[in-house]
Structure 1
Amino acid sequence: MKRLLLPAILLVFLILEGTATDFLPKEWLLSDYYMIPHWVFVILVYIAIFYDFDSTYYCVLYGIIFGFLFDLLYTDILGVYMFTYGIAAYIIHGLKKLLHANMFVAILMSIVGVALADALIFFLYSSVQGFVMTWKTYALMSLIPTLLANLVFTLVLYPFLPPLLYKWSEEQLASQKAV
C-alpha cells in the first residue's frame, strides 16, 4: 500500500497543475509573462533528494511516467515532458550525491531542476514547432516568472513532503535489510 502513496501524490499534483492557472488573478494571465507550474517536477526533485538512494532511481522512473501522462493530458506533442522530466531528474539525482540533503540544497536543486526542465522544454518545442521567440525574450518573459512561481511552491511544500519522504526512505531501507 505504501508503494502507491508516491504515485498517488504525483497524480494529484499532476491534476492540480493543470488547473493552477485558473486560480491566478486575471491581470497576471492577461500580461505578457508566463508562469508555468512544474509542481510534479518539484516533487520529483524532492524524491531525488530525500527518498532515492544512490542506487535507486525512482525519481527518473516517475519522471518518465508522469512526464508521459503530462504529455498525454496537456500537450499536443508526445514525449517532450517525458524526455525532459526523465533527463532532468537523472541530472538532479546525480547532483544530489555532491551535496547534503537540507533546505538550501532542496531549494537550489529545485531552481536548477526547474530551470533545466523548462529550458529543455523550450528548446524542444522551438525545434519542433519553430517558435519565433529569442532566448532573451524567453528568459525574461517565461523562465524567470516560472522559476519564481515554482520557488514559492517549493517553499510551501518543504515543511510537509521531505520529512515524509525521508521516513518512507528509511522504512524502505529497513525492509531491504530485512530481506
Structure 2
Amino acid sequence: MAKFYLPFFLLLLLVLEGVAVDFLPNSLVTGRWMIAAHWVLLYLVLISIFYDLENTYVSVLYAIVFGLMIDIVYTSVLGVYMFIYPLVVYGIHGLKKLLHTNFLVALVLSALAVALADTGIYIVYSFIGLTELPWQDYFYIRLIPTLLANVLFLLLIYPLTKPKLVKWSTERFNTSGKL
C-alpha cells in the first residue's frame, strides 16, 4: 500500500510548496529574506533514511520524477531540480549507510540536503544567468532563512512520518515467508 501513499504525499507536498508563502507572516514575505520551501526534498530524505534499504533506491526514483514535476510546475528551466534532487538524495542515501538512523542524524542529513540542493540550484541558475545575486547576499538572504524554515518544517513532519515510513518499509521489503 505504501507504493501508493508515498507518491500521494509527495504530490500533496508539491502542491503545498506552491502555496507555502501564503502561510507565512507578511513581515517575512515582504522583508529582505527569500525563503524557498523544499518540502518534497525533505520527505524524499526521510524516505531515503527510513524507507529505503541499503540496496533499494525508491527515494532516488521519486526524486527524479518529482524533481521533473517541480521543474514543469514552478520553474522556467527544465532539468535543474530533476538533476539536483536525485543527486542530493543519492548522496544522503550513501551517508545513511554510514550512520545510525535516529532523529539527530535525520535532522543533520535533512539540513545538509536542503543546503546542498539550494546551493546547487543557485549555482546552476547563476551559471545560466537566471539569477545575479552575489554569493554573500545569497548566503544571508536566501540560504540561511531557507535552512531555518525547512528545519522547522522537518520538526513538524518528522514525528508524523517516521513511524509510517518504517512500517511501510517493513511491509514492502520483508520477504520472510513470502515468495
TM-score range normalised by the length of the shorter chain: over 0.9
Moved over 4 A (4+): none
**Paired residue type of 1:125:** Y
2:174 corresponds to which residue? 174
Partner residue in 2 for 1:8: 8
Alpha-carbon spacing, 1:16–1:54, altered in 2? closer, same or farther (3 Å): same
Structure 2: distance between partners of 1:129 and 1:44? 28
Q: Which residue of 2 aligns with 1:162?
A: 162
Asked whether the 8 Å contact 2:2–2:172 carries over to 1, the reply is no
The residue correspondences of 1:67-86 to structure 2 (distance < 5 A) are 67-86=67-86
Residue 21 of structure 2 is matched in structure 1 by 21
Cα deviation, 1:100-142, whole Å, max 9, x if unaligned, reads 1100000000000000000000001111125322211101000
Q: How many residues align?
A: 179
Residue 79 of structure 1 aligns with an amino acid whose one-letter code is G
Q: Which ranges of structure 2 fall in alignment gaps of 5 or more residues?
A: none
1:175 shift after superposition:
4.1
TM-score when scaled to structure 1? 0.96
Structure 1 unaligned regions, length at least 5: none
Deviations, residues 75-106 of structure 1 (Å, cap 9, x unaligned): 10001111110100000000101101100000
- Normalising to structure 2: TM-score of the pair? 0.96
Q: Which has the higher helix share?
A: 1
Which residue type is aligned with residue 109 of structure 2?
Answer: M
**Aligned-pair identity (%):** 47
**Root-mean-square deviation (Å):** 1.2
2:38 corresponding residue in structure 1: 38
